[in-house]
Structures are given as C-alpha cells and as structure tokens.
Amino acid sequence: MTPFAKGSHLHLIDGSGFIFRAYHALPPLTRKSDGLPIGAVAGFCNMIWKMLQETKGDDAPTHMAVVFDKSEQTFRKDIYPAYKAQRPDPPDDLKPQFRLIRDATRAFNLPCIEKDGFEADDIIATYATAAAAAGGRVTIVSADKDLMQLVAPGIEMFDTLKNRAIGPDEVFEKFGVAPDRVIDVQALAGDSVDNVPGAPGIGIKTAAQLIGEYGDLETLLARAAEIKQPKRRATLIDNAEQIRVSRDLVTLRRDVELADGIETLEVREPEAEQLLEFLALMEFRTLATRVASKLKVEAPVIGDTAGFAPPASGTDVRVLGAGEPPPVVPIDRSVYTVLRDEAALDAWLARIPARGVVAVSVEGIGSDEVTGEIAGVALAIGPGAAAYLPLGHVTAGGDLFSAEGQIPLAAALARLKPVLQDASVLKIGHDVKRAVKLFARQGIALAPIDDTMLLSYALHAGLHGHGRDVLAEEFLGHQPLARRPLLGGGKSARGFREVPIEEAAPYAAEDAEIIWRLWNALKPKLPFARVTRVYETMERPLVPVLAEMERNGIRVDRARLSRLSGDFAQRMAALESEIHTLAGSPFNIGSPKQLGEVLFEQMSLQGGKRGKTGAYGTGADVLEELAAQGHDLPARVLDWRALSKLKSTYTDTLQDAINRETGRVHTSYQIAGAATGRLASTDPNLQNIPVRTDEGRQIREAFVPEAGNVLLSLDYSQIELRILAHMADIGALRQAFHDGLDIHAMTASEMFGVPIEGMPSHIRRQAKAINFGVIYGISAFGLANNLRIPRADAQRFIDTYFERFPGIREYMNRTVAFAKEHGHVETLFGRRIHTPEINAKGPHAGFASRAAINAPIQGSAADIIRRAMIRVPAAIAHLPAKMLLQVHDELLFEVAESAAEETAEVVRAVMSTAALPAVALDVPLVVDAGWGESWSAAH
C-alpha cells in the first residue's frame, strides 16, 4: 500500500448527490426483464465508467472513493431538530436503487464509504482536509453548493454534468465571497430546502455584502448595532443565536473518525468478471459491451430473462404474437420453497435487498384483519422464485394444535421486520391494506408499498374488476388455484390456519408470484395512461390512512342497540297483527310476492303492475301511492318495513359486528370498489347508517365516543354542485356559492322568477330535485318520478333550466362526446373512469351516458376528500384525535372534548383546501362541523 503523500491525487465522489441528479436527469428507465427501476443506477454506472476512462494519464487519480449518506439521524438533528425535517421521502422508484448503487460502486472495485450519524459531506470534508494536509491534491466530484466551503489550495470540485471545474472563482460567483467565508454567508442566508433558518429576510446577496463589509460573521454580529438599515440591524441583533446555530448546521465536520485511512483508497483496476456480472444483472447491454472491449474480455450475453432463475421446465412457453414481449416463463407451482426453519428463512430473505422489490401475500388465521393473527406469509422476487412461510397453521382434531414444521411466530417476525420496514425494499401486494393491517397488529409498519389492485384501478376503473383472479386471467393468461376449495364453504368452512401447510404453500406462493408478475405488467402502464399522479397521490397514500382508520374502529353502545331491537320488535309485532287483521288472513309481510297477492288479488286494489319476473311491484313508491288513496294496509306495511329494515340491518346486526377485543366496530373500506373513485364500506357498511328519520337517528345515537371524548363530524356542503358549477363554468352558480346563497332557492328564483325571500317550500323542493337530477344526468322520466309530476311538466322544468343555464347542457354534451371519443371520462384530478358501454345501442346507451355525466362530478368530489384524508394524519398528529370514518362527503373523528374545536378548525382547513395545489376551484369549498356525545349529536 502506497502512503498518501505529496503528488498523490484523491477523487472523492459525492455518491448521494449524484444519485438524485442522475434520477432527475434521466428518464425513468426500468430493467427490461422485470420492470425494476434502474435509471439512477444506469446514470451512476455510466458516470463512473466515463470518469475512470477520462482520468487516465498524467492527471490520473491515485486514490478514489465514493461517499454516501447513511441515515437521516445525524448530529445536526441534535443541534436543530427541524434540520431537513420537511424533506419529502425519496420517490418510491428511487428507493430500491440506493442499495443497487452501492452494489455498483463495489462492482467497480471502488471503496464505498458511509458512516452513521454523518452526512456524506462531512466524510468528504474529513478526507479532503486530511489529504490536503498530507500535501496531496483533492478533486471533489460534485456540484453541491454545501461542499464549496471546502475549496482551498489543493482542493477543487468538479461538476460532471456540466463538465467543468469549480475553484475559488466559481465559488465567488455563487456566494459573492471567497471559499473560506462561504459558511458565514450560508449561516446568514439560511436554506429553505434543508430547513436551515438563517436570518429572516437576508439572502445570499445581502449576506455576501455584509460579510464583505465586516470581514466575518462574528465581527458582523458583534458590530451589528452599527448597521444603518434599521430592519437589517434588528434582524441581526434579534436572531444572533439562530444565525450561530445555522452556522453550526452548515459547517462541515472535518474530524469524522473513519475506519479506513486515505491510503486504503488507492485506485484498483476493476475486476472484469465482478463488474460484468453486475452489469449483466442490471441488463446494461451497451455499457457491458463497452466495458468488455476495454478490459479485453468477452461481453456477457444478456437475455431478456437475465437475472431470473432458469425455469425448471421451459417447454410450455406462451407465445404472444409478433411485436409482443418475449416469451413468458409459465407459472410452475412445483418449484416453490416452504420456509420451515430459521436458516432457510434467513437465506431467502438475504436475496431480497439486491432486488429491491418483493411481492408479499399474507394470510390471516381467519377473516379478522384487525385483531386476527397471521397464518402465513408468502414472498416472491421473480418467476418461480417464491416461498411460503407458515406461521400460525394448526391441525384440527377436536382441539387445535400448532402444526409441525413452523418457525415460532415471534422469531420469524423479528427476521421479517427489517425487510418489511426497509425503505429501500418496495413491498408489493394485492389489496395491500390487508397486509398493512395484519402486520400492524404485529408491530410491523409495512412500507414502502405498491398495490396491484390499485394499479389496475387507476388504469382500468370501469373496464373490469380488480380482483386477483380477473387480473391474472387478463394480464397473465393464467388461472390461479382457487381459494374456495381450500377454505370450503357452508358448514365445512375453515379458516386459513386450518388449511394443511402442503396445500396452503402452493396457493399462497403462487399468489405472491402472480402479484409480482402483475406488478411488472401493470406498473409500467401508468405513465402511458397518464394516471401516474392519480396512483401516486390519491390511491397509494390512502392505504396506510385507511388501515389506521379501520384499526381505530368506532365505539358502539351494545346495550342501546339491544334496547332498540326490543322496542322495534314489539312495534313490529303490533303492526303485524294489525296488518293480518286488515288482510283478513295471516301472511309473510316480508315476502313481496305474498304481499303483492294480498294487495292486488285478495283485496283487489287498483294499480298493480307486474314486473318482468311476473311479480307485482310492492316498492315504497307503490305502497305510498296506495296509502295516499286512503288504504290502511299499505301504510302499515310501510311502517313495518321501516322497522324491519332498521332492526335486521342495524340494531341486530351491528351488535354482532362489535369486536370482542376492542369493543369497537371495525369496517373495511374498499378502495377499488366504486368506479368513480368513491370508497365503499363493508363488513359492516358504516356508510349507510340511517339519518333521515327519527327512528333511524336513534341508531346513530348508539355510535359514541370513549369517556372524555366527543365525536366530531365535518362535511362538505354541496360539494358536487360546487364541482358542477366549476366544471361547467356556470357564472350564476359560482356567484351564488361565493355569496353563500341558498343554492336551491337561488336556482328556483332564476327558473321561476320568484324572489328568494319568502320562497314557497314546494318551489324550492322542485329546484332542489332538478339540481340533483343534473348531477345524475337528468331525464324527464326520472325527474317526473322523483317529483310525482307528469312527464311533460318535468320536461318543461328541464327546458327552462337549460335555457337559464345553457352551460350545463354544454357540459353534458361535451362530456358524453368525450366519452364516445376516448372511451373514458376524467375527473378534475385526472382520474379516469372508463365507459365501455357508451357507444352501445339501445337502453344501455342511456345508462352509459348518464353515468358518464355523473362520473366526473362524483369522482372529483371523491378525489377531493381522498386528498384531504391523506393530509389529515400529519395535520392532527399533535392533537388527541383519531380519524374514524368517511362517508363520501363527511369525515368523523373521535377527539378529547377539550381539543374538539381546535381539531375541527385544523381539519376544516385541510378539507377546504384539499383541491390545491393541483386544481384551483372557482368556487369555495365550505365545510360544516359539529361535535357531541354521539354521531347523531355531532350533526
């Protein structure tokens, strides 16, 4: 080893700085065989190779190292906790590349230097200072202004992207002072990106002028009182301490204790085999060829499946036709691994980091995702490379015994946890919210994540479902093992824990492999469909938010529901006997068929209409009509039905939904359920809890907070009409919203020329029906039905409305035409809702065009509340508040009573600005808030 001395030349490459520059400078390249993002890796490798070639000869470096940031936690955070606090997470497609770039560095046979607690800049400063002191030369390969303070005799910088050296002159150009005073200028000017406070109101120009005048920072602060400009003087005096802290933050440490002395950084020639192996794995064909020719070895053959384990049997190859991707290795369930001991698990997990992406499929022991345990975890990193890790399987034989050949749960989870939480390993799932919840229960925060279900949803909402089986068929031409035979049905149904491991393993491992393949098939499509932003900002970030809400659950007062059930039962029994008396004979009131026969045959009432199945219609509208004619029986049936509905759907069923462990009800939200972007709530549905009748509201009174808390409800006022006013650009509507007018009264006034003051309620009601009708894609038939008026009258209303607001008709025509041309419509935020039926003939066409008119309006409203929900957790992090439920235009929170008002204001601010910055609405978004001792009282 040659000592570093006079004549030596050290190149220090700012690896972390370069990663971000390469990432943003290059298009999002992916590895061809599997879609792994590798743009930054490619940029890095090309840069290193170019540098190695160009620096040969007299000026060749004798020593070289690549330096990286290691952790977020540096000594600067101890000095100033807000330092770099608001820095966003790196993009998810960059995260897996961090590790690959370190691998690349080693493949080039270069030292890869990093140290906990320090930034790359501190390590560079330490080496550069030591090298200069030893009499050698230093070139810092970076354009980062934070490194410019190091420029000195013997130390210069080099910007590879601009291909120019940075010396004292260039530093002066940037900071207006010599390199040795750069720290002073940075301390004064601060840095908004890194959250270095500096002196408020002073930028680089002023700072340089002040330092130029007073010589250095301490002198300036000591003599601040002499400054003529009063504002500047006050700023410096008031913020002296903050400026000194800023100086400590920007000053690079030159005394980091480093394990490797400079002499160990001596340049070594790349080893051909090692380097080419890496380049082949990354599938960098051009660079591999170039490197091979330079190193005078044979270039590796890089096929499209390079990096994959060769298929066990490669005969059954699916041919996709000319111009299609290369032949695909078929799924082979016989090659999967079952991880039964810790050594096997460790070996498998060790393969994941280099990939940067792993498909994860987790099975709970049963259907409970909140308090249920894990039965097993399947992982996949490539075709045929999948494994199943059984954890909670049991053998049933009267009692349940833990099945043999399973690693103890705690030990396995301890090994999984670092990978599942590793920021540089992307975890992909299908409906990954399930996995997030199951792992959260085990203290594991699954992140970062991707979701093939949501990829499909962002790409193809309205075209087809997004279940795993549908997608496997559609995109892989593969039919997976069915879940049903494993779990049985009816009486013989069993939880996944009871499925024998040898049956569970191929099913689960195949699931993981399918997810991995689907991700590779779907993720690259996002930019082509222009839905990357939709997916990245409105689908994926919602997953952890919903997982937390679902885990929170809401407290429900069982005793109260039970009392209501009893009350309803009594009243139903009374009604039942009354109805039977009126009918003259007993029958099943709950049977529409029997009821129809009683009404229209036995009692011979008029107006009986048979539907397409031959049964009489007995819907509420029919019964109401009969009741209005003075018939008692249908009126009693309506009362009975209302109670029956409340009892069976709510007061009885909701009690069963209370979780034994938490005492709360945990709904599950379907993110990809509704084509428009709305959520759907299931098991139980908490988005249709009654509110419109007094009896219904009694059920809401059973939704209660914990002691000392209140339920806080915030809802958007008229959000869909506001969106319509914006999208269709209706000046009168927009103005009415700006002026805070009663929008339905205003509509009525415009249409019928009636003054808003003292407007008769039936006129307003008609206008309200029209406003809603417009959102739904109005038709005379629908409006007539709703208002119980003749169709001709309804048509006249609509004509008048369109005359008064011609922009609405234009919007409707424009939207339908767009759908016909493109096959989809879009929300304000770019969400696509496909309309495959839009060009159909016959009655389908009407449905499709109304749906197309409604979708951008309903969907934009859905987007807005999604955006709000994603921002809420950070906004309320400092408050004793939890977000519990979403009901399309309402968010419900549980909050300490003392913090209700503050929480309301914080959330109101988030909700009313949720469209920004993507869309600036021409109408205000008004949010109403209320809180109380129950969900009913919160309204």
* 602-641 positions binding DNA, by CB under 7 A: 611-613, 615, 617-620, 623, 638, 641
- By rule CB under 7 A, what string of x and - marks binding of each residue 371-410 to DNA? ----------------------------------------
> By C-beta, is 681 or 934 nearer to DNA?
681
| Nearest-approach distance from CB 539 to DNA, in angstroms | 16
Taking the C-alpha atoms of residue 822 and residue 855, their distance in angstroms, rounded to an integer, is 15
Taking the C-alpha atoms of residue 885 and residue 80, their distance in angstroms, rounded to an integer, is 37
Taking the C-alpha atoms of residue 861 and residue 192, their distance in angstroms, rounded to an integer, is 34
Among 440, 542, 780, 899, binds DNA (CB under 7 A): 780
- By rule CB under 7 A, what string of x and - marks binding of each residue 573-602 to DNA? ---------------x-xxxxx--------
DSSP 8-state class, residue 651? I
> By C-beta, is 62 or 687 nearer to DNA?
687
- By rule CB under 7 A, what string of x and - marks binding of each residue 877-916 to DNA? ----------xxxx--------------------------
Peptide bond into 448 cis (omega under 30): yes
Torsion angle defined by CA atoms of residues 421, 426, 429 and 431, in that order, rounded to the nearest 10 degrees: 80
Please tell me whether residue 670 binds DNA under the rule CB under 7 A.
yes
Among 675, 808, 825, 885, binds DNA (CB under 7 A): 675
| Nearest-approach distance from CB 778 to DNA, in angstroms | 4
Please tell me whether residue 648 binds DNA under the rule CB under 7 A.
yes
Q: What HEC string does 743-762 produce? A: HHHHHHHHHHCCCCCCCCHH
* Other C-beta atoms lying within 10 Å of the C-beta of residue 755: 9
What residues from 791 to 850 belong to the interface with DNA (CB under 7 A)?
Answer: 842-843, 846-847, 850
406: number of CA atoms within 13 Å, CB side? Answer: 24
Backbone angles phi, psi at 725, to 5 degrees: -60, -40
Peptide bond into 527 cis (omega under 30): no
What residues from 839 to 878 belong to the interface with DNA (CB under 7 A)?
Answer: 842-843, 846-847, 850-851, 854-855, 858
> By C-beta, is 316 or 694 nearer to DNA?
694
> By C-beta, is 186 or 676 nearer to DNA?
676
**The pair of three-digit structure tokens given for residue 664, joined into one six-digit string:** 């709360």
Q: How far is CA 148 from CA 61, 164, 554, 676, in A?
A: 20, 14, 55, 52
Please tell me whether residue 544 binds DNA under the rule CB under 7 A.
no
- By rule CB under 7 A, what string of x and - marks binding of each residue 453-492 to DNA? ----------------------------------------
> By C-beta, is 497 or 834 nearer to DNA?
834
Which listed range, 110-118, 149-157, 299-307, 685-693, lies at the site for DNA (CB under 7 A)?
A: 685-693
> By C-beta, is 752 or 776 nearer to DNA?
776
| Nearest-approach distance from CB 673 to DNA, in angstroms | 4
Please tell me whether residue 772 binds DNA under the rule CB under 7 A.
yes
| Nearest-approach distance from CB 765 to DNA, in angstroms | 11
Among 30, 687, 717, 795, binds DNA (CB under 7 A): 687
Backbone angles phi, psi at 8, to 5 degrees: -75, 155
Please tell me whether residue 693 binds DNA under the rule CB under 7 A.
yes
**Interaxial angle between packed helices 204-214 and 182-189, expressed in degrees from 0 to 180 and rounded to the nearest 10:** 130
Strand extents, DSSP E, 160-222 = 164-166
> By C-beta, is 233 or 558 nearer to DNA?
558
Work out whether the CA dihedral 481, 482, 483, 485 comes out positive or negative.
negative
Residue in the block written with tokens 């990286």 = 68
> Would you call 661 helix, strand, or coil by DSSP?
coil
| Nearest-approach distance from CB 712 to DNA, in angstroms | 16
> By C-beta, is 782 or 873 nearer to DNA?
782
| Nearest-approach distance from CB 323 to DNA, in angstroms | 35
Tell me if 187 sits within 8 A of 250, measured CB to CB.
Answer: yes
- By rule CB under 7 A, what string of x and - marks binding of each residue 490-529 to DNA? ----------------------------------------
Q: 687-694: long-range contacts (C-beta < 8 A, 24 or more apart)? A: 687/885, 687/886, 687/887, 687/888, 689/650, 689/935, 690/646, 690/650, 691/936, 691/939, 693/642
